[in-house]
């Protein structure tokens, strides 16, 4: 199915009017980086390939599977359809979104949210699936949610898995303006108490936090990032804090990703690529084409992320040309 047919004539016209699909300069990826309505991209590097695992951006009842995309250079992308299908998750009914990916001991673990539960009386929350290859097919690991209840007011969605230098895996998650961190068991079958006995520790950085947490470590410091605003609106954005441990404390520093009225709106729910070879950083995020006000009309983009000498993140310039090719081989 062609891009135009897949999006529909009206949406195609909107995208063309923004010039987002104009040919990028030679050697650049162009934004969006691949066709289709996708959101909440998870970025991972496995071997010599970049991978993006996004939410399929449709009505919740139609969000019943995930595709993935791989690239050797950030410019040329290959689609891997249906890497995780809802049929492989016996407890999930709808609203699959926000992947998080981990490779461990030769296995690939796919964390996801399902069912958009509104209370502890409903079945759903954060699950985990496993496969032998990054392109799947993935199968549910537990037969039930990994986290299936509200703790500290956090809706169990939008999980990100972070590996610390000592080999400990943490999961940071949470919607409804609350963020929690938990320590994962070594086999990802559950969570376990931290050194102070806490299991679900709240690390909400302030009242602006909404959802979409992410964490990485750079020069001994822990960077905690998240999304603010309404996911379907133009003011969706990304802010961050820096702490001395995964548990913080974290105090909001500022916004580093937001709309550009000349490029796109609703830029948020991101992930990052870090290429260790040349210490390059890229932010992978979704955004709305200019003039398109449908909440689910979201596309995936990549732009350069950089740091000041003091370690703070330089506000990202969102672009239509995207990033230059950076082969991993």
Per the domain annotation, does 318 fall within a domain? no
Per the domain annotation, does 313 fall within a domain? no
The secondary structure of residue 107, as a DSSP letter, is E
Q: Which residues contact 155 (CB under 8 A, 6 or more apart)?
A: 117, 118, 174, 175, 176, 178
Per the domain annotation, does 223 fall within a domain? yes
Per the domain annotation, does 319 fall within a domain? no
Q: Which residues contact 27 (CB under 8 A, 6 or more apart)?
A: 75, 324, 325
Per the domain annotation, does 119 fall within a domain? yes
Q: How far apart are the first and last CA of the chain?
A: 31
The CATH code of the domain that includes 90 is: 2.115.10.20
* 3-state secondary structure (DSSP) of residue 5: helix
Q: Tell me the pairing of strands 221-228 and 211-218.
A: antiparallel
Tally of structural domains, the chain:
1
| Dist. CA 273–CA 222, nearest whole Å | 16
Find the farthest-apart pair of alpha carbons in the chain and give their distance in angstroms, rounded: 57
Structure tokens of 258? 């937001």
Per the domain annotation, does 324 fall within a domain? no
Question: Which pLDDT tens digits describe the chain residue by residue (329 residues)?
Answer: 334 334 444 454 445 444 445 688 888 999 999 999 999 999 999 999 999 999 999 999 999 999 999 999 999 999 999 999 999 999 999 999 999 999 999 999 999 999 999 999 999 999 999 999 999 999 999 999 999 999 999 999 999 999 999 999 999 999 999 999 999 999 999 999 999 999 999 999 999 999 999 999 999 999 999 999 999 999 999 999 999 999 999 999 999 999 999 999 999 999 999 999 999 999 999 999 999 999 999 999 999 999 999 999 999 999 999 999 999 98
Per the domain annotation, does 91 fall within a domain? yes
Closest CA to 285 of 315, 313, 318, 312: 318
Per the domain annotation, does 175 fall within a domain? yes
Domain around 162: 3-305
Give the active site residues. Answer: 40, 211
């Amino acid at each position: 199915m062609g891009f135009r047919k897949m999006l529909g004539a009206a949406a195609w016209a909107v995208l063309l009017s923004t010039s987002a699909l104009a040919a990028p300069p030679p050697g650049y990826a162009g934004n969006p980086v691949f066709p289709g309505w996708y959101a909440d991209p998870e970025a991972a590097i496995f071997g010599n390939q970049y991978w993006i695992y996004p939410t399929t951006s449709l009505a919740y009842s139609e969000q019943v599977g995930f595709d993935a995309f791989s690239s050797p250079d950030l410019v040329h992308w290959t689609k891997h359809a249906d890497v995780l299908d809802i049929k492989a998750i016996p407890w999930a009914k709808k609203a699959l979104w926000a992947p998080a990916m981990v490779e461990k001991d030769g296995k690939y673990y796919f964390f996801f949210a399902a069912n958009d539960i509104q209370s502890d009386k409903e079945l759903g929350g954060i699950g985990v699936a496993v496969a032998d290859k990054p392109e799947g097919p993935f199968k549910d690991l537990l037969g039930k949610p990994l986290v299936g209840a509200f703790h500290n007011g956090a809706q169990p969605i939008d999980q990100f898995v972070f590996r610390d230098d000592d080999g400990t895996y943490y999961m940071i998650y949470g919607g409804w303006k609350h963020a929690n961190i938990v320590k994962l068991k070594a086999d990802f079958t559950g969570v376990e108490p931290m050194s102070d006995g806490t299991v679900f520790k709240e690390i909400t950085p302030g009242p602006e936090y909404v959802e979409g947490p992410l964490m990485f470590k750079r020069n001994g410091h822990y960077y905690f990032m998240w999304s603010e605003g309404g996911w379907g609106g133009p003011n969706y954005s990304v802010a961050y804090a820096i702490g001395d441990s995964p548990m913080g404390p974290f105090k909001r520093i500022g916004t580093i990703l937001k709309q550009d009225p000349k490029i796109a709106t609703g830029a948020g729910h991101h992930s990052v690529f870090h290429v260790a070879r040349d210490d390059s950083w890229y932010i992978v995020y979704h955004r709305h084409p200019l003039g398109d006000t449908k909440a689910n009309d979201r596309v995936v983009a990549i732009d350069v992320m950089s740091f000041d000498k003091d370690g703070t993140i330089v506000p990202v310039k969102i672009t239509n040309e995207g990033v230059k090719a950076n082969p991993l081989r």
